[in-house]
């Protein structure tokens, strides 16, 4: 009975048995995810208790407060500004369409549960697609996708928000690029950016590799395809509901520092959300320039996944908000960039610790100090969780930078391969390298 499991852990290529095994593990992961939300599925989502039992979900919260229970479509609800759905277009479309398929109208616990279950099921499908995308993109290391199938970070956060849609589009975009479909890659990344901003940043990694190889056409074609896809989704709403469409961007710029962000440490200064946004964006821009310099100056061209992980990690580290589900953005990129089980499990353990105290801290304050009101232990442990998860992310970035500067340490290249995600750029000689003369065309 253990032989199929042993075969999966020793697998190299994404053969049919490997894919079946990965899907089975993803189903197990999804089953565990359902169990984490079972208290709320049985008892509903009362304010403080859903935090205490760590089963809060934006699915249920927004269903009742953003007009979707009454089948009002996002951006066209006519509700007050404070009830507008401050989400990018593609996620708003998904949220609105799934509400339309729930029988009946008006809010009720039964309809709320049905909405939660529908969106959870769709998120699990996205999760399975991400697992398969990683398995195929990893080529000779398809077994590494096991980490994605059973990642504690995904198990805990897959039903918190619609982020897995963006993760799916981003990973499918990278897979398409690896298969030399640069137009499709751009379209998928553009659609991903219409769901969450971060897939757009992956074009930065593509830019560095195209610059080094002198194949800038690949970058411009993929970027243009992404922009067209993003516009195709966004323009109809920009024309018909501009104020509601733009709310996500104005809200993101003006909002104060969010939970688990490093900017919480600077709230005492009196800086408003807009000022923090300027600083956050500036630091992220500087980090991107540093990553570009690293990618253009390294003695061997970095792999796409390594650069992509560093860019997204910088965005999260310097961002004003770190929602627990953001860890899902990084997990597939980590598996493709630096697939090391021990390090991965330590990282995920820290994220679980952080997750627990995010919700216990919020339970304390949402309950009006009814829970844990007589002690500051929750705040201390929550602070430790924030510092630990940021420190671990910095540690992983340092290790990836080390792999780039010392490519002999790169476990993905240990078998002599170049870059599984590089597509047309794989094994090409460099045309431009900062600080030294590039190799000439053979």
Q: What is the pTM of this model?
A: 0.95
Q: At what angle do helices 182-193 and 163-178 cross, to 10 degrees?
A: 170
Question: What is the pLDDT, as a whole number, of residue 437?
Answer: 62
CA-to-CA distance for 195 and 254, rounded, in angstroms?
A: 20
| Separate counts of helices (H) and strands (E) for the chain | 19, 0
pLDDT per residue over 174-195, tens digit each?
Answer: 999 999 999 999 999 999 999 9
Question: Which residues, in sequence order, are CB contacts of 423 under 8 Å at separation 6+?
Answer: 177, 178, 179, 180, 182, 218
What are the two backbone dihedrals, phi and then psi, of residue 164, each rounded to the nearest 5 degrees? -60, -25
Q: Which two tokens stand for residue 420?
A: 């599984």
Q: At what angle do helices 109-137 and 327-337 cross, to 10 degrees?
A: 20
Question: What is the pLDDT, as a whole number, of residue 128?
Answer: 98
Question: What is the pLDDT, as a whole number, of residue 83?
Answer: 86
pLDDT at 7 over 70: no
Q: Which long-range contacts (CB under 8 A, 24 or more apart) does 11-20 make?
A: 11/142, 11/143, 12/140, 12/141, 12/142, 12/143, 13/139, 13/140, 13/142, 14/132, 14/135, 14/136, 14/138, 14/139, 14/142, 18/135, 18/142, 18/143, 19/132, 19/135
CA-to-CA distance for 169 and 187, rounded, in angstroms?
A: 9
CB 12 within 8 A of CB 140: yes
Closest CA to 189 of 150, 218, 229: 229
pLDDT per residue over 215-268, tens digit each?
Answer: 999 999 999 999 999 999 999 999 999 999 998 888 888 888 888 888 888 888
CA-to-CA distance for 328 and 395, rounded, in angstroms?
A: 18
Question: What is the pLDDT, as a whole number, of residue 441?
Answer: 39
pLDDT per residue over 103-131, tens digit each?
Answer: 999 999 999 999 999 999 999 999 999 99
| CA dihedral of residues 198, 204, 209, 212 (deg, nearest 10) | -170
Percentage of residues in the chain having pLDDT higher than 70: 96
pLDDT at 12 over 80: no
What phi-psi label fits residue 180: left (phi over 0), alpha (psi between -120 and 50 degrees) or beta? left
What are the two backbone dihedrals, phi and then psi, of residue 277, each rounded to the nearest 5 degrees? -60, -45
Closest CA to 383 of 348, 357, 345, 408: 357
CA-to-CA distance for 412 and 333, rounded, in angstroms?
A: 13
- DSSP letters for 74-101: TT-S---GGGS--S-HHHHHHHHHHHHT
3-state secondary structure of 146: helix
pLDDT at 271 over 70: yes
Question: What is the pLDDT, as a whole number, of residue 336?
Answer: 97
CB 359 within 8 A of CB 51: yes
- Mean pLDDT over each residue of the chain, to the nearest integer: 93
């Amino acid at each position: 009975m253990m032989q199929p499991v042993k075969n999966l852990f020793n697998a190299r290529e994404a053969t049919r048995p490997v894919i079946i095994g990965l899907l089975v593990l993803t189903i197990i992961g999804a089953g565990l995810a359902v169990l984490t939300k079972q208290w709320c599925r049985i008892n509903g989502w009362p304010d403080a208790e859903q935090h205490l039992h760590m089963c809060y979900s934006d699915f249920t919260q927004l269903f009742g407060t953003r007009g979707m229970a009454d089948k009002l479509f996002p951006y066209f609800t006519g509700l007050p500004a404070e009830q507008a759905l401050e989400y990018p277009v593609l996620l708003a479309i998904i949220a609105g369409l799934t509400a339309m398929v729930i029988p009946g109208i008006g809010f009720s616990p039964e309809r709320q549960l049905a909405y939660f279950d529908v969106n959870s099921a769709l998120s699990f499908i996205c999760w399975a697609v991400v697992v398969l995308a990683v398995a195929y993109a990893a080529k000779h290391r398809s077994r590494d996708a096991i980490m994605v199938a059973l990642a504690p970070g995904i198990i805990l956060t897959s039903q918190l928000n619609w982020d897995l849609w963006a993760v799916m589009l981003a990973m499918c975009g990278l897979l398409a690029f690896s298969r030399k479909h640069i137009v499709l890659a751009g379209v998928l990344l553009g659609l991903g950016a219409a769901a969450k901003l971060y897939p757009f940043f992956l074009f930065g990694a593509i830019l560095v590799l195209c610059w080094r190889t002198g194949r800038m056409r690949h970058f411009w074609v993929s970027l243009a395809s992404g922009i067209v896809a993003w516009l195709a989704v966004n323009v109809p709403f920009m024309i018909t509901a501009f104020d509601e469409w733009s709310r996500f961007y104005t809200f993101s710029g003006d909002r104060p520092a969010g939970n688990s962000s490093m900017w919480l440490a600077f709230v005492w200064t009196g800086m408003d959300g807009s000022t923090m946004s300027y600083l956050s964006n500036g630091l992220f821009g500087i980090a991107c320039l540093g990553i570009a310099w690293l990618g253009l100056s390294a003695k061997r061209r970095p792999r796409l996944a390594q650069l992509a992980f560093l860019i997204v990690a910088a965005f999260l580290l310097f961002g004003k908000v770190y929602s627990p589900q953001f860890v899902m953005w990084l997990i597939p990129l980590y598996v493709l960039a630096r697939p090391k089980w021990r390090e991965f499990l330590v990282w995920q353990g820290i994220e679980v610790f952080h997750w627990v105290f995010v919700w216990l801290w919020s339970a304390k304050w949402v309950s009006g100090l009814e829970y844990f009101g007589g002690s500051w232990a929750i705040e201390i442990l929550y602070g430790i969780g924030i510092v630990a998860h940021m420190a671990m992310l910095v540690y992983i970035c340092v290790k990836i930078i080390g792999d780039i500067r010392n490519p002999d340490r790169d476990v993905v290249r240990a078998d002599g391969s170049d870059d599984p995600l590089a597509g047309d750029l794989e094994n090409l000689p460099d045309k431009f390298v900062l600080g030294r003369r590039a190799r000439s065309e053979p």
